[in-house]
C-alpha cells in the first residue's frame, strides 16, 4: 500500500468513526429526552450496542430498567420485541414454533419474539434454565434452533435483559456460563431527588416514550459497528487488558475468562468511538472494566467481586 | 561463634549487608559485613604495625623467622578465640611478652641496668630510631608475637575497641621513635577507626546509611592530612606527591651529613655552604672524621649502640703499627660535632666528650665559636703490601656488625659487586676496584632526585650521577655483599691549606667516604668520590660567596686572590695516584673494568625499560582505596551521582525513530512532573495523573502526542520534535 492509499484509508476510517460518533450522540440525546439521569448507563448501553454485546440490567423493580431499554430500542428504526420471562415460559415462547398450516398441509415456522433487532428480556431470572438456554444460544450464535431447524436472527441483534435482585427465592439464578455471555452488567440505582422530581414532571400526562421516534437507521448502526471493529487496539493496551484479567484470576476463585477480555476490548473500542478516537487508550479500558469484568468474577469469600476488579485496576501498571 | 553473636541477629539491615551475610553463610561462615569490615580495619592496624617491625627485621636479614612468628601468633589467636576466656588469653600473652623481653635482655652482650633501660626507652620515645638500639632485630622478634596475638584474639572475640587500643599503643610507640612514616601511621589510624566504627555498627542494628557514613568518615581521615599539608610547616604529604622536591633548597650537604644524629637518610639535591667551620693546626693533612655508621637500612645509615663519655670508656689504640698525629681544632662557628683524624686516642679541651661505638667524638654540649680542642690520633701505618697481605680473618664482632645488608637489597647489587671484584685476590684489591669503578662510571653532581627503594641499588644501576653519600653508600654496600666489612664515615676533608700546618675547613668540605676493615691494621679510608669535580664545585661556590660578600667565608689567613686547591687524596694509602681519571665517555679502553660498566653486558639492567609505571607502595594504595570507597559512599549518600545523571539524562537526547524518541521524552516529562508533585501511581492512567496533579497545557499536549504514538497509528518527525520542544518548556518552567 502506498502512502497516499494509506492516507486515504486513514481518512476514511476517521470519517467513519466521526459518523458513528455522531449517530451515538443522536441516540443518546434522543434517549435522554425520556430518561432522566443515568447518563453513564446510557453510554454503556450504547457502547455495548456498538461493540456487538448484550447488556444485563440488574436492580430492584421500578427504577426504569425496561423504560431505558425501550427508549434505546425505539431510537432505531429496527424491530423491537419484548419478552416477559415467567416460571412457565417455554423455550418455544422465545424462539417461535412450527405450526401446521392446513391450507398448505405443511408445517410453517412462526417466529418468536427473539426475531428482532433489539430484544428486551424482562426478569429473565424468573424463567427455568431450559428457556434461558434458548436465549443463550440466540445471544451467542445469533441464530435460533427450532425442531432441528436453524434460523438466522436479524442483524444487528442485541439483547437487553433485566433481572430483579428481590424475590431471590422464586428465581433461577443465571448460570455463570450465561452471565459470561452478557458483555456488561449494569446497575441503575435510584435516581437522586432532583432527577426523580424531574422524572415525575415528565411522566404526568402523556408518557414521553410514546412520542419517541427513531433517530438512526439500522444501516447507520451497522456502519457504526463496522467502524468500531476497525478501531486500533495497540499492543500495550492488549497487554494491559490481559494483565487485568490475570490479576482477577489470581485474586478470585473464578476470574475473568478470555471471553471477558475480548468483551473488554470490544467495549473499549466502542468507548474510543464515543470519544471520536480511532485508537484505544488505557482510559477507555478503565472506563469499561468495572461493568465488563465484575459479573464474571466469583469470589470464594465474602469479598465482593467489585473489590477484586477495583484492586486489579489500582495495582496493574499501565505502560 | 562469639559472645555477641546473639546481639547481632535480626533487625533491618542494609541491603548490601544481607547479600554479604548470605554469601558468607553459603561457605559456612557466620559473618556480617560490618564484622568483616571491622576485622579488615584491625588487619590494617596490624599491617601498619608489622610493616615497621618488618622493616627493622629486614635491615638485619631475619624475615623468615619474623613471618613465622606473625603467622603462628595469628593462628594461635584464631584458634584460641573460639574457646579461651579473655583473662586467660591476656595472661598467656603477658607471659609471652615477658619471656620475649627476658630472652632479648639475656642475649645482650652487656648487662644493662634497669635504669639504663628506662633511659634508653625515653631516648627512643624522643625520636631515636629503634634501629639504633642494640640487637634491634632480636628486639623486634621478641616483642612481635604478644601484641599480634592479643590484637587478633580480641578482634575475633568482637572486642574491636580494645583490640584497636593494643595496636594503637604499639603504633604510637613507633611514631614516637620515628620509625613509622606518615602513610603507615595514617593507615594504622584509619584502620583503627574502621575497626571501632564498623565494630560499633556490628553490635547494634544499623541502616546502610550508617555504613556509608563510616566509609565517608574514613575517607575524610585520609584526605585531611593532604589538605592540612598545604599549610606551610606541617609534617608533609602521606603520598609521594612532593617526591624529592621536598629536600631541595635549603638543605646543605653538611647538614645532611653532620647533624650529630645517629642516623642519616640520603637526600635529594643539596647545596654547599662556604662558611668557615674550623681552622686546624695539624702535623699532617688528614680527613677530619666525625663519625661512622654501621647499619644500612636501604635508604640511609644508622649507627647502633650507645655513646658513652670518654672518661668511662677511654680511647684505645688500634691494633697495628701507628704514627702519631696531633691536631688543634679552632672552632670558627658553633658546632655540635668534633672532627678528628682517625683514630683519636687522646682528646683535651672539650670537657668530657661522648665517644660513639664507632669512636666518633661529640662534645657533651655544643662547642662555641672561638673555642678549641686538641686531639692526638694514632694513624694506622700500613703499606699497600701490608693491606694486601692482611687476610680476611675478621673478629666475629666485626663480621656481624659491618657486613650486614637488608634482606631487601636486590641480588643484582651483589652480582655487580662480584663481577667488579672478581679477579681481586685480596680485600685491598677488591676495595680499590670498587672505588675505581665508581669513580669512573658515575658523575659527580649535587642536583639529584632522591631515588625510590634501595639507594645503593638505584645509584649503581639507575642513576648516572650523585654526590659523596651516594658513592660511599654504593661502595660500602657492594663490599658488604662480598663479606668485606665496611662502613660509611662522615666528616670533613682536609680543607684549604693556608700555612705549612694550618688548614681552613669550610662547610662544603663536609664529606662522606668509606672505611674498610683490615685484620691487624684496623679501619682504612677509601674515598670513591671523584675529587676534581667536587673541588670544582666547591671552588665555584666559594667564588660565588666571595663575589656576593657572604660573611664568614674567609679567615685572616685565607686569601681570596690565591686560588689554592684543597689537597685531597683518592685513598689513604701512599703510592696511589692523586689525580682521578676522567669519567664517562672519555674512558679509555685500557680500563680493565669497562666491560662490567657497560649496561648491555648485564641482562638484569633491562628491567629498567619496563613500560609499566611503578605502582605506589601498598600502604598508599590501601589509603587510596579507602579514599575511593569513601568518596563513592559519600556521593551516593549526598545523591550527587544520581542528580548528575538525571541532569544529563534530562538534557541529552540521542536521535532515534520518533516512537522511541517520544517515549523517552515522555519518561523525562514524567520525571519532571513527579519531582514537582508526585509520581504516577500504578494503575493510574496518564490522563488521570495529569488531571490529578493539575498539569499544564504543554504537559498534556506532550502526553497526547505520546498517546498517539504509543496506542494510535504512530507519529512523524515533526511531532517528535514538538514533544521535545514541549519538554524543554516544561523543564525550564519547573527549573529542573
Span B599-625, pLDDT tens digits: 333 333 333 333 444 455 666 777 777
- Residues 6 or more apart whose Cβ sits within 8 Å of residue B698: B726, B729, B730
Distance from CA of A3 to the nearest CA of B (A): 13
For B35, B197, B625, B636, the CA distances from B208, given in Å and listed in that order, are: 14, 14, 20, 11
Q: Determine the Cα–Cα distance for residues B277 and B558; give it in Å rounded to an integer.
A: 13
Give the minimum alpha-carbon distance from B44 to chain A in angstroms, rounded to a whole number: 50
Residues of A in contact with B708 (CB under 8 A): 279
Cα B348 from Cα B373, distance rounded (Å): 6
Residue B75, pLDDT > 60, answer yes
Q: What is the mean pLDDT of residues B381-390?
A: 83
Residues B677, B680, B685: CA angle, nearest 5 degrees: 130
C-alpha–C-alpha distance, residues B708 and B701, integer Å? 11
Question: Which member of A234, A279, A283 has the closest CB to residue B687?
Answer: A283
pLDDT at B6 over 60: no
Q: Print the domain residue range for A20.
A: 3-230
Contact list, A316 vs chain B (CB under 8 Å): 682-683
User: How many other C-beta atoms can be found within 10 angstroms of the C-beta atom of residue A191?
Assistant: 18
User: How does pLDDT run across B536-549, given as a tens digit for each residue?
Assistant: 888 888 888 787 77
Quick one: which of B509, B503, B475 has its CA closest to B490?
B509
- The answer on A31 and A57 residing in a single domain is yes
Cβ–Cβ gap B686/A318 under 8 Å: yes
Cite the DSSP H helix spans in B159-204: 160-177, 182-203
Interface of A with B in 251-310 (CB under 8 A): 277-283, 286
Same domain, A203 and A244: no
CA distances (Å), A304 to each of A125, A139, A165, A252, B294, in order?
21, 27, 16, 10, 96
User: From CA A170, how far away is CA A163, in angstroms rounded?
Assistant: 12
pLDDT tens digits for range A237-250 = 999 999 999 999 98
- Best to test chain B binding among A6, A13, A14, A234 (most B CBs inside 10 Å): A234
Q: What gap in Å lies between CA B175 and CA B188, rounded to an integer?
A: 11
Give the residue with greater pLDDT, B588 vs B545: B545
CB atoms B682 and A314 under 8 Å: yes
Mean per-residue pLDDT over chain B, rounded: 76
Q: Distance of CA B178 to CAs B52, B137, B173, B182, B642, Å? A: 10, 17, 9, 10, 45
Q: Which residue has the cell 553459603?
A: B26
User: Model confidence over B111-144: pLDDT tens digits?
Assistant: 556 666 666 667 676 666 777 776 777 778 888 8
Find the mean pLDDT for residues B488-495: 87
Residue among B683, B686, B710 whose CB faces A314 most closely: B683
Helix (H), strand (E), coil (C) string for B257-325:
HCCCCCEEECCCCCECCCCEEEEEEECCCCCEEEEEECEECCCEEECCCCCEEHHHHCCCCCCCCEEEE
Q: What is the CA radius of gyration of chain A?
A: 21
Q: What is the pLDDT of residue B269?
A: 64
Domain endpoint, select from A167, A198, A230: A230
| Percent of chain B's residues with pLDDT above 70 | 78
Q: Give pLDDT, residue A273.
A: 92
Contacts of B685 in chain A (CB under 8 A): 281-283, 286, 318
Are residues A267 and A211 part of one domain? Answer: no
Pairwise CA distance, residues B199 & A96, whole Å: 89
What is the structure's pLDDT at B598?
Answer: 34
For residue A262, the domain's CATH number is 1.10.8.80
Sheet containing strand A55-59, edge to edge, reads: A80-84, A118-122, A158-164, A55-59, A184-186
A7 Cα to chain B: minimum distance (Å) = 11
Q: Does A77 share its domain with A143?
A: yes
- Give the residue-averaged pLDDT of A295-299: 88
pLDDT at B261 over 80: no
Q: What is the phi-psi region of residue A64: left when phi exceeds 0, alpha when psi lies from -120 to 50, beta otherwise?
A: left
Q: Which residues of B touch A277 (CB under 8 A)?
A: 712
A65 is written with which cell numbers?
430498567
Instruction: Tell me which of A230, A252, A286 is where a domain ends.
Output: A230
What are the angstrom distances between the C-alpha of B662 and each of B675, B691, B720? 20, 21, 6
The answer to whether residues A155 and A8 belong to one domain is yes
Q: Distance (Å) from the C-alpha of residue B681 to the closest C-alpha of chain A?
A: 8
pLDDT confidence of residue B652: 67
What residues 126-185 of chain A have any CB closer than 8 A to a CB of chain B? none
SS3 helix, strand, coil % of chain B, rounded to 5?
50, 10, 35
Q: Is B522 in a helix, a strand, or coil?
A: strand
At residue B596, the pLDDT reads: 34
pLDDT of residue A244: 92
Q: What angle do helix axes B658-676 and B717-734 make, rounded to 10 degrees? A: 20
Mean pLDDT of A80-92: 87
Starting at the edge strand found earlier in the chain, the sheet holding B344-348 runs: B344-348, B372-380, B322-331, B276-282, B502-506, B496-497
The reply to whether A44 and A131 lie within a common domain is yes
Q: How many angstroms separate the Cα of A203 from the Cα of each of A62, A76, A190, A196, A199?
A: 14, 22, 16, 11, 6
- Please confirm whether the linkage preceding B343 is cis (ω < 30° from 0): yes
- Report pLDDT for B331: 86
Please tell me the predicted confidence (pLDDT) of residue A265: 93
Q: Angle between the B160-177 and B182-203 helix axes, to the nearest 10 degrees?
A: 170
CB contact under 8 A, A281 and B711: yes
Report CB contact under 8 Å: B685, A318: yes
Looking at the structure, tell me whether residues A172 and A248 fall in a common domain.
no
Asked if residue B592 has pLDDT above 80, the reply is no
Q: How many CB atoms lie within 10 A of CB A99?
A: 10
What angle in degrees, to the nearest 10, is found between the helix axes of B33-59 and B136-143? 160
B503 pLDDT above the threshold of 80: yes
Calculate Rg over the CA atoms of chain B: 35
B-chain CB neighbours of A236 within 8 Å are 710-711
pLDDT of residue A283: 92
B32 burial via Cβ count (<10 Å: 0-12, 13-18, 19+): buried
Put simply, the answer to whether B711 touches A278 (Cβ < 8 Å) is no
- Indicate the angle between helix axes B33-59 and B15-26, nearest 10 degrees: 70
**Cβ atoms of residues B95 and B219 within 8 Å:** no
Between B15 and A130, name the one with better pLDDT: A130
- Report the C-alpha gap between B158 and A157 in whole angstroms: 82
Query: What count of other Cβ atoms lies within 10 Å of the Cβ of residue B46?
Result: 23
Which positions ≥6 away from B38 have C-beta within 8 Å? B155, B160, B194, B195, B196, B197, B198, B199, B202
In SS3 terms, B458-488 reads as HHHHCCCEECHHHHHHHHHHHHHHCCCCEEE
Q: Assess A22–B contact: CB distance below 8 Å, yes or no.
A: no
Beta pairing partners, B502: B281
**How many Å apart are CA B242 and CA B13, to the nearest integer?**
43
Q: How many C-beta atoms lie closer than 10 Å to residue B370's C-beta? A: 10
Q: Are strands B322-331 and B276-282 parallel, antiparallel or unpaired?
A: antiparallel
Q: Chain A to chain B, count of Cβ pairs less than 8 Å apart?
A: 45
Cα nearest neighbour of B688 on chain A:
A283
Q: Are residues A288 and A186 in the same domain?
A: no
How far is the C-alpha of A179 from the C-alpha of A177, rounded, in Å?
6
Count of domains for chain A: 2
Q: Are B454 and B444 in contact (CB under 8 A)?
A: no
| Same domain membership, residue A167 and residue A253 | no
Which residues of chain A make contact with B687, given a CB cutoff of 8 A? Answer: 281, 283
Confidence check: pLDDT of B64 > 90: no
Q: What is the pLDDT of residue B580?
A: 36
Residue A6 touches chain B, beta carbons under 8 Å: no
> Can you tell me which residue has the cell 473488554?
A264
Statement: residue A227 has pLDDT above 60: yes
Whether the per-residue pLDDT at A124 is higher than 80: the answer is: yes
How far is C-alpha B580 from the chain's CA centre? 35
Average pLDDT over residues B156-178: 85
User: Does the pLDDT at position B308 exceed 80?
Assistant: no
The answer to whether A10 contacts chain B (CB < 8 Å) is yes
Per-residue pLDDT of B233-260, as tens digits, reads: 333 333 433 333 333 344 666 666 665 4
pLDDT tens digit sequence for A141-176: 888 888 888 888 888 888 988 887 766 566 677 777
Q: Let me know whether A156 and A197 are in one domain.
A: yes
Domain boundary among A230, A257, A288: A230
What is the C-alpha to C-alpha distance for residues B604 and B535, in angstroms, rounded to an integer?
34
Q: Which residues of B touch A314 (CB under 8 A)?
A: 681-683
What average pLDDT does the segment B639-664 reach? 75
Residues from chain B contacting residue A278 (CB–CB below 8 Å): 712-713
Q: What residues of A are in contact with residue B686 (Cβ under 8 Å)?
A: 282, 318
Minimal CA separation from A1 to chain B, in Å: 15
At B390, is the pLDDT very low, low, confident or very high (cuts 50, 70, 90)? confident
Q: Which residues of B touch A (CB under 8 A)?
A: 681-688, 707-708, 710-713
Task: Please indicate whether, in this complex, the C-beta atoms of B683 and A281 are within 8 angstroms of each other.
Answer: no
Check residue B351 and give left, alpha or beta (phi > 0: left; psi -120 to 50: alpha).
left
What is the structure's pLDDT at B110?
57
Our CA-based measurement puts residue A318 at a distance from the nearest CA of chain B, in whole angstroms, of: 6
Does A239 share its domain with A294?
yes
Cβ–Cβ under 8 Å, residues B452 and B614 = yes
Q: How far is CA B383 from CA B101, B380, B732, in A?
A: 47, 10, 95
- B667 vs B55: which has the higher pLDDT: B667
pLDDT at residue A239 in the model? 92
Strand ranges (E), B340-383: 344-348, 354-355, 361-362, 372-380
Given pLDDT bands bounded at 50, 70 and 90, which one contains residue B469?
A: confident
CB contact under 8 Å between A315 and B682, yes or no, is yes
Q: What is the mean pLDDT of residues B329-355?
A: 84
Interface probe, candidates B711, B712, B713, B715, chain A, greatest A C-beta count within 10 A: B711
The C-alpha of A46 sits at a distance from chain B's nearest C-alpha, in angstroms, of: 23
A315 with B711: Cβ contact below 8 A: no
Contacts of A7 (CB under 8 A, 6+ apart): none
Q: Do A234 and B708 touch (CB under 8 A)?
A: no
Phi, psi angles (nearest 5°) of residue B531: -75, -45
Q: Is residue B375 helix, strand or coil?
A: strand
Q: How many Cα atoms occupy the beta-carbon half-sphere of A56 within 13 Å?
A: 25
Mutating which of B670, B680, B681, B683 best tests the A interface, going by the most A Cβ atoms within 10 A?
A: B683
What average pLDDT does the segment B558-580 reach?
45
| A317 at interface of B, judged by CB pairs closer than 8 A | yes
How far apart CA B216 and CA B222 sit, in angstroms, is 10
Chain A residues inside the 8 Å CB shell of B707: 281
Q: Report d(CA B529, CA B569) in Å as an integer.
A: 10
- Together in a domain, A173 and A258: no
Closest to B187 in 3D by CA, of B178, B199, B195, B177: B195
pLDDT of residue B259: 59
Domain ranges of chain B: 6-228, 253-262+276-563+572-609, 640-734
Q: Write down the pLDDT at residue A176.
A: 78
* Alpha carbon A267 to chain centroid, angstroms: 10
Helix axes A282-293, A235-251, angle to 10 degrees: 30
The pLDDT tens digits of the residues spanning B188-203 come to 888 888 888 888 888 7
Mean pLDDT of chain A: 85
Cβ contacts of B700 on chain A, cutoff 8 Å: none
Pairwise CB contact (< 8 Å): B713 & A236:
no
- CATH number (domain holding residue A139): 3.40.50.300
Chain B nearest C-alpha distance from A303 (Å) = 21
Please give the torsion angle defined by the CA atoms of residues A33, A35, A39 and A41, in that order, rounded to the nearest 10 degrees.
-140
Interface of A with B in 203-242 (CB under 8 A): 232, 234, 236-237
Amino acid at each position: 500500500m502506498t502512502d497516499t492509499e494509506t492516507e486515504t484509508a486513514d481518512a476514511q476510517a476517521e470519517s467513519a468513526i466521526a459518523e458513528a460518533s455522531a449517530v451515538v450522540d443522536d441516540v443518546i440525546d434522543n434517549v435522554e429526552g425520556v430518561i432522566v439521569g443515568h447518563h453513564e448507563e446510557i453510554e454503556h448501553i450504547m457502547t455495548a450496542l456498538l461493540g456487538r454485546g448484550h447488556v444485563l440490567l440488574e436492580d430492584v423493580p421500578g427504577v426504569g430498567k425496561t423504560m431505558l431499554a425501550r427508549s434505546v430500542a425505539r431510537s432505531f428504526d429496527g424491530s423491537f420485541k419484548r419478552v416477559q420471562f415467567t416460571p412457565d415460559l417455554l423455550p418455544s415462547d422465545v424462539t417461535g414454533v412450527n405450526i401446521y398450516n392446513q391450507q398448505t398441509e405443511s408445517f410453517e415456522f412462526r417466529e418468536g419474539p427473539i426475531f428482532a433487532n433489539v430484544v428486551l428480556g424482562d426478569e429473565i431470572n424468573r424463567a427455568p434454565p431450559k428457556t434461558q438456554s434458548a436465549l443463550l444460544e440466540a445471544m451467542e450464535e445469533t441464530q435460533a434452533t427450532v425442531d432441528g431447524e436453524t434460523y438466522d436472527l436479524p442483524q444487528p441483534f442485541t439483547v437487553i435483559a433485566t433481572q430483579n435482585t428481590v424475590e431471590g427465592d422464586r428465581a433461577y439464578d443465571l448460570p455463570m456460563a450465561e452471565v459470561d455471555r452478557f458483555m456488561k452488567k449494569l446497575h441503575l440505582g435510584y435516581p437522586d431527588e432532583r432527577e426523580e422530581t424531574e422524572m415525575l414532571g415528565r411522566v404526568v400526562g402523556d408518557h414521553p416514550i410514546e412520542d419517541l421516534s427513531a433517530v438512526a437507521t439500522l444501516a447507520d448502526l451497522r456502519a457504526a459497528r463496522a467502524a468500531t471493529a476497525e478501531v486500533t487496539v495497540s499492543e500495550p493496551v492488549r497487554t494491559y487488558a490481559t494483565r487485568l484479567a490475570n490479576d482477577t484470576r489470581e485474586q478470585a476463585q473464578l476470574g475473568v475468562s478470555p471471553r471477558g477480555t475480548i468483551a473488554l476490548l470490544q467495549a473499549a473500542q466502542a468507548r474510543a468511538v464515543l470519544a471520536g478516537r480511532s485508537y484505544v487508550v488505557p482510559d477507555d479500558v478503565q472506563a469499561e472494566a468495572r461493568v465488563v469484568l465484575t459479573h464474571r468474577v466469583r469470589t470464594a469469600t465474602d469479598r465482593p467481586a467489585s473489590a477484586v476488579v477495583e484492586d486489579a485496576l489500582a495495582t496493574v501498571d499501565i505502560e | 561463634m562469639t559472645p555477641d553473636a546473639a546481639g547481632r541477629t535480626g533487625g533491618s539491615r542494609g541491603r548490601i549487608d544481607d547479600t554479604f551475610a548470605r554469601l558468607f553463610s553459603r561457605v559456612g561462615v557466620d559473618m556480617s559485613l560490618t564484622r568483616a569490615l571491622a576485622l579488615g580495619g584491625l588487619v590494617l592496624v596490624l599491617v601498619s604495625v608489622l610493616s615497621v617491625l618488618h622493616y627493622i627485621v629486614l635491615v638485619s636479614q631475619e624475615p623468615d623467622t619474623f613471618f613465622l612468628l606473625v603467622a603462628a601468633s595469628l593462628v594461635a589467636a584464631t584458634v584460641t578465640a573460639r574457646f579461651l576466656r579473655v583473662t586467660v588469653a591476656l595472661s598467656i600473652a603477658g607471659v609471652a611478652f615477658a619471656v620475649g623481653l627476658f630472652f632479648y635482655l639475656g642475649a645482650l652482650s652487656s648487662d644493662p641496668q634497669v635504669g639504663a633501660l628506662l633511659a634508653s626507652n625515653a631516648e627512643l620515645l624522643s625520636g631515636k630510631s629503634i634501629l639504633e638500639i642494640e640487637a634491634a632485630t632480636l628486639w623486634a622478634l621478641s616483642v612481635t608475637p604478644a601484641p599480634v596475638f592479643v590484637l587478633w584474639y580480641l578482634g575475633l572475640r568482637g572486642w574491636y575497641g580494645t583490640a584497636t587500643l593494643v595496636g594503637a599503643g604499639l603504633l604510637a610507640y613507633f611514631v614516637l621513635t620515628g620509625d613509622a612514616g606518615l602513610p603507615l601511621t595514617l593507615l594504622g589510624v584509619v584502620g583503627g577507626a574502621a575497626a571501632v566504627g564498623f565494630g560499633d555498627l556490628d553490635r547494634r542494628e544499623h541502616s546502610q546509611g550508617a555504613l556509608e557514613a563510616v566509609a565517608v568518615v574514613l575517607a575524610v581521615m585520609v584526605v585531611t592530612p593532604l589538605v592540612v599539608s598545604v599549610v606551610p610547616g606541617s609534617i608533609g604529604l602521606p603520598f609521594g606527591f612532593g617526591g624529592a622536591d621536598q629536600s631541595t633548597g635549603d638543605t646543605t650537604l653538611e647538614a645532611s651529613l653532620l647533624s650529630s644524629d645517629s642516623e642519616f637518610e640520603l637526600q635529594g639535591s643539596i647545596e654547599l655552604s662556604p662558611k668557615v667551620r674550623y681552622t686546624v693546626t695539624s702535623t699532617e693533612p688528614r680527613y677530619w672524621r666525625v663519625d661512622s655508621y654501621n647499619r644500612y637500612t636501604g635508604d640511609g645509615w644508622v649507627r647502633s649502640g650507645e655513646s658513652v663519655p670518654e672518661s668511662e670508656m677511654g680511647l684505645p689504640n688500634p691494633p697495628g703499627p701507628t704514627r702519631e698525629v696531633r691536631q688543634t681544632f679552632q672552632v670558627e662557628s658553633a658546632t655540635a660535632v668534633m672532627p678528628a683524624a682517625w683514630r683519636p686516642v687522646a682528646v683535651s679541651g672539650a670537657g668530657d666528650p661522648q665517644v660513639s661505638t664507632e669512636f666518633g667524638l661529640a662534645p657533651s654540649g655544643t662547642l662555641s665559636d672561638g673555642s678549641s680542642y686538641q686531639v692526638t690520633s694514632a694513624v694506622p701505618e700500613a703499606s699497600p703490601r701490608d693491606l694486601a697481605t692482611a687476610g680476611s680473618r675478621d673478629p666475629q664482632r666485626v663480621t656481624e656488625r659491618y657486613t650486614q645488608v637488608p634482606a631487601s637489597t636486590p641480588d643484582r647489587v651483589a652480582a655487580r659487586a662480584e663481577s667488579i671484584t672478581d679477579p681481586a685476590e685480596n680485600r685491598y684489591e677488591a676495595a680499590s676496584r670498587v672505588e675505581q669503578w665508581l669513580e669512573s662510571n658515575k658523575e659527580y653532581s649535587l642536583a639529584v632526585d632522591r631515588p625510590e627503594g634501595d639507594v645503593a641499588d638505584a645509584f649503581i644501576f639507575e642513576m648516572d650521577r650523585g654526590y659523596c653519600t651516594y658513592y660511599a653508600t654504593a661502595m660500602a654496600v657492594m663490599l658488604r655483599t662480598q663479606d668485606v666489612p665496611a662502613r660509611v664515615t662522615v666528616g670533613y676533608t682536609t680543607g684549604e691549606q693556608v700555612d705549612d700546618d694550618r688548614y681552613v675547613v669550610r662547610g662544603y668540605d663536609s664529606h662522606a667516604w668509606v672505611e674498610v676493615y683490615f685484620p691487624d691494621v684496623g679501619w682504612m679510608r677509601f674515598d670513591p668520590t671523584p675529587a676534581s669535580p667536587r673541588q670544582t664545585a666547591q671552588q665555584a661556590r666559594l667564588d660565588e660567596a666571595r663575589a656576593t660578600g657572604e660573611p664568614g667565608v674567609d679567615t685572616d689567613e685565607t686569601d681570596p686572590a690565591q686560588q689554592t686547591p684543597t689537597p685531597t687524596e683518592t685513598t689513604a694509602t701512599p703510592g696511589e695516584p692523586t689525580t682521578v681519571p676522567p669519567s664517562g665517555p672519555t674512558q679509555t679502553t685500557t680500563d680493565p673494568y669497562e666491560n662490567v660498566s657497560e649496561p648491555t653486558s648485564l641482562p638484569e639492567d633491562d628491567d629498567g625499560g619496563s613500560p609499566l609505571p611503578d605502582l605506589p607502595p601498598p600502604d598508599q594504595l590501601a589509603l587510596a582505596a579507602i579514599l575511593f570507597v569513601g568518596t563513592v559512599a559519600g556521593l551516593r549518600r549526598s545523591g550527587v551521582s544520581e542528580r548528575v545523571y538525571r541532569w544529563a539524562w534530562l538534557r541529552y537526547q540521542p536521535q532515534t525513530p520518533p516512537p522511541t524518541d517520544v517515549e523517552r521524552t515522555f519518561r523525562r516529562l514524567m520525571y519532571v512532573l513527579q519531582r514537582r508533585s508526585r509520581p504516577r501511581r500504578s494503575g493510574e492512567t496518564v490522563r488521570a495523573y495529569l488531571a490529578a496533579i493539575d498539569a499544564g497545557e504543554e504537559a498534556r499536549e506532550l502526553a497526547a502526542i505520546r498517546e498517539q504514538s504509543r496506542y494510535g497509528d504512530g507519529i512523524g518527525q515533526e511531532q517528535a520534535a514538538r514533544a521535545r520542544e514541549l519538554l524543554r518548556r516544561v523543564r525550564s518552567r519547573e527549573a529542573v
